[in-house]
Structure 1
Amino acid sequence: MQVAEALAQRADGQRRVEQLMARVTDSARYQEGETPVEDAQALLTEIDAVLDQQESLIRRINRTNAATPLGDGTVTDALARRDVLRYRHRAVTAAADAASGRGGRDHGRHMRSELVSLPALPVAELRAEADRIAQEIRELDIRIQRANWEVELLD
């Protein structure tokens, strides 16, 4: 099985657990004299089984990512880099939005007597930096996805 397939299985498992949890919540209480819609205890047992499978799958994915070379490091290193780039992109974009007056407050001047607010940061440079970071994220994502389809999942 390829890593990409394992990631799809992991996502399916996560959805399955969420669905089962909703069913447990719906069945955890019932009115006296009625029968519960489903056996909440059986659903909890099923959740445990799915979570055990999830743990095994996640361990295998992590082990494979740590052992798979990608660029100057491993897939695990690339995933960490991508996470940090996403945070950096959000920070730079938020700073540019705030400096340009798009940060949720009205920074314009409506009357001559009002004070003018000025940007404390170079908006155009920040936007260019955000674009550069977004491009780096896209390129890194492509390399990670390629590795996910080329690499066999370890045991």
Structure 2
Amino acid sequence: MKLGEALADRADGTRRVEQLRGRITANARFQEGETPAEDAGALLDELDEVLGRLETLIRRINRTNAAVEVPGVGTLTDALARRDVLRMRHAAVTAAADAAAGSGRGHAVRQLRSELKMLAALPVADLRGRADGLARELRELDVLIQRTNWEADLRE
């Protein structure tokens, strides 16, 4: 099994857990004289099975991420950490550029000439350029990660 397949299975397993959780909650209590739509105990047993398979899958994914190399980055774990930080950095730089440009919430436009003029404390164009560079770097890294996910075999 390829790592990409395992990641898709993990997402399916996580969705299944949430569905079962909702069904268990909906059937955990019922009115006297009525019958619940589903057996909450059987649903709990099914949840335990799904969670057991999910735990095994997550362990294998984590072992694979720690062992597989991404060219020019390090391990897949390193690449994932880099991607997370790039996303945070891009969001922060974009927010700074928006704030300096006066866009977004809480940035009113001057209505009268007598009102105080708001000035940008940061170079908006430079920040936009930096955000574009970060977005490009993020896209390139994401492509490397996705390629690796579909080329790497899942570890035991």
Same fold (TM over 0.5): yes
Deviations 1:109-145 (A, max 9, x none): 0012211111111111111111100100100011111
Deviations 1:68-126 (A, max 9, x none): 11124111100000000000011011111111111301331001221111111111111
Taking structure 1 as the reference length, what is the TM-score of the superposition? Answer: 0.96
Please tell me the root mean square deviation across aligned C-alpha atoms, in Å. 1.0
Identity over aligned pairs, percent: 66
Structure 2: segments with no counterpart, 5+ residues:
none
Following the alignment from structure 2 to structure 1, what is the Cα–Cα distance between the partners of residues 59 and 144? 22
Following the alignment from structure 1 to structure 2, what is the Cα–Cα distance between the partners of residues 32 and 125? 68
Report if the CA contact (8 A) 1:107-1:117 is conserved.
no
Taking structure 2 as the reference length, what is the TM-score of the superposition? Answer: 0.96
User: Hey, what does 1:121 align to over in structure 2?
Assistant: 122
Counterpart residue identity of residue 39, structure 2: D
User: Hey, what does 1:103 align to over in structure 2?
Assistant: 104
User: Hey, what does 2:82 align to over in structure 1?
Assistant: 81
SS at match of 2:14: helix
Following the alignment from structure 2 to structure 1, what is the Cα–Cα distance between the partners of residues 52 and 119? 56
User: Hey, what does 2:38 align to over in structure 1?
Assistant: 38
User: Hey, what does 1:20 align to over in structure 2?
Assistant: 20
Counterpart residue identity of residue 2, structure 1: K
Following the alignment from structure 1 to structure 2, what is the Cα–Cα distance between the partners of residues 47 and 130? 43
Following the alignment from structure 1 to structure 2, what is the Cα–Cα distance between the partners of residues 42 and 121? 59
Following the alignment from structure 2 to structure 1, what is the Cα–Cα distance between the partners of residues 86 and 118? 30
User: Hey, what does 2:49 align to over in structure 1?
Assistant: 49
List, as ranges, runs of 4+ consecutive aligned residues in structure 1 with deviation greater than 2 Å: none
Following the alignment from structure 1 to structure 2, what is the Cα–Cα distance between the partners of residues 11 and 39? 25
Structure 1: segments with no counterpart, 5+ residues:
none
Counterpart residue identity of residue 107, structure 1: A
